Amino acid sequence: MPRDNRIQFENSFHHIITRGYNQMNIFFEEEDFGYFLGQLFVISVSHGVIIHSYCLMNNHLHLLWQNPLSNLSEAMQLLLTRYADYFKRKYKHRGKVLEKRFTSILIDTEMYLMQLAKYIHNNPVGVIVDKPEDWAWSSYKYFTDESLSKPRFLEKDLILQKHKSLNALVQYTNEPDDWKPEDHIFSGTILGSEKFIEEITLRHVAPEIDVSLRGSFKLNNTYRIRIDEIKSFISKLNFDLKTQTCLLIYALREKTDMSYKEISEKFFLGTFSASAISGRYARIKTRSKANTKLAETLIQIKYL
């Protein structure tokens, strides 16, 4: 199935959700939670990531993520790959650990920062604990207990500034409500005011979209930038023309939302049928299993 590109840009804010495969538990022991947070710190240093709140549950996790360098996908893929490898080694697990694709919702911080942080910190309430401060694996305790040394990746000031006082934050967080982000998300991608949605879609989404419709859409700027990067990267590879063609097809399928038919029409003028494009995509994946150089190239394409 073709996949939508993620809307991301410098200093964009995102609600990240990752779940265990088939709802399996991904955190069993204190060491597991600690390892994930340790890797989050490493990624925050290497990729400039800032976290404004988080909650790790047994079978899923939530992050309120700021993206200063516009490298969300690369950073998250590295983080999740490292944790999955750790999990497989420790528990001698075979097969998938995490859902294939993490959820990323672009956030309008002016409208939803406080509400989303409250939602994240209350995730274990009523499920595992009675109060948000009773759950060890969320960021809430670092907001309410100033004697604790917060993780270096955690930035508290932006959320604290939204409240008049610490007592106001505590009262707000503990006030019961039934707010859920999924009830307010536009097209499964943006959580924001109508003005914010309009600004984002005009800048990053195809201009002909009707923003009043809550259906799926294709990205605009990110889509074009990636096409240029893909073509440039493929043209510099030291492979024969047939292999380069297969690699181009692979990259277009992995990095854009184009169907096999669209790839055929836009890049090969219809000389290859959609089924022929599909066959070349499958063959390059098969060949890479026995060819180290090809396998390394597919990994490079993944992180373009």
Q: What is the pLDDT of residues 158-194, one digit of tens each?
A: 999 999 899 999 999 999 999 999 889 887 889 999 8
- What is residue 283's predicted lDDT score, i.e. its pLDDT? 93
Domain check: are 177 and 231 in the same one? no
Is residue 13 within 8 Å of 53, Cβ to Cβ?
no
In this structure, the answer to whether residues 43 and 173 fall within a common structural domain is: yes
Residue 295 contacts residue 288 (beta carbons within 8 Å): yes
> Residue 284 sits in which domain range?
221-302
CA atoms within 13 A on the CB side of 20: 14
Q: What is the pLDDT of residue 214?
A: 42
The answer to whether the Cα torsion of 105, 108, 111, 116 is positive or negative is positive
- Which two structure tokens, joined as six digits, stand for 43? 């990624």
The reply to whether 208 falls in a domain is: no
Pull the structure tokens for residue 186. Answer: 């536009």
Alpha helices, H only, the chain: 30-47, 72-91, 109-121, 140-144, 157-161, 166-174, 194-204, 221-235, 241-255, 260-267, 274-288, 292-302
Q: How many CA atoms lie within 13 A of 260 on its CB side?
A: 13
Same domain, 86 and 226: no
CB pairs under 8 A, 24+ apart, for 137-145? 137/27, 137/33, 137/55, 137/56, 137/57, 138/53, 138/54, 138/55, 138/56, 139/51, 139/53, 139/54, 139/55, 140/53, 140/55, 140/173, 143/169, 144/169, 144/170
My answer on whether 137 and 244 are in the same domain is no
Determine, yes or no, domain membership for 269.
Answer: yes
179 and 227 fall within a common domain:
no
Does one domain contain both 167 and 229?
Answer: no
Structure confidence by residue, pLDDT tens digits, 196-251: 888 887 776 654 444 444 444 444 434 444 577 788 888 888 899 899 999 999 98
Percent of the chain with pLDDT over 70: 90
Residues 178 and 233 in one domain: no
CA distance 83 to 37: 10
3-state secondary structure of 154: strand
Dist CA 255 CA 99 (whole Å): 18
**What CATH number has the domain bearing residue 119?**
3.30.70.1290
Q: How many domains does the chain have?
A: 2
**193 inside domain:** no
CA distance 48 to 304: 18
Query: Are 39 and 104 in the same domain?
Result: yes
DSSP class of 6:
P
Among residues 26, 4, 32, the alpha carbon closest in space to that of 98 is found at 26
| Helix 221-235 × helix 194-204 angle, to 10° | 30
238 in the same domain as 165 = no
The pLDDT of residue 94 is 92
Is the domain of 167 the same as that of 298? no
Q: Which residues contact 196 (CB under 8 A, 6 or more apart)?
A: 108, 110, 111, 190
Final residue belonging to a domain, choices 183, 212, 236: 183
Confidence at 124, pLDDT banded by 50, 70, 90: very high
Q: With 90 as the cut, is the pLDDT of residue 32 above it?
A: yes
Lowest-pLDDT range of 25-34, 106-115, 154-163, 177-186: 177-186
pLDDT tier at 59 (50, 70, 90 boundaries)? very high
Within-domain flag for 144? yes
3-state DSSP helix/strand/coil % of the chain, to nearest 5: 50, 15, 35
Residue 201 to residue 203: CA distance in whole angstroms:
5
User: What is the model's pTM?
Assistant: 0.69
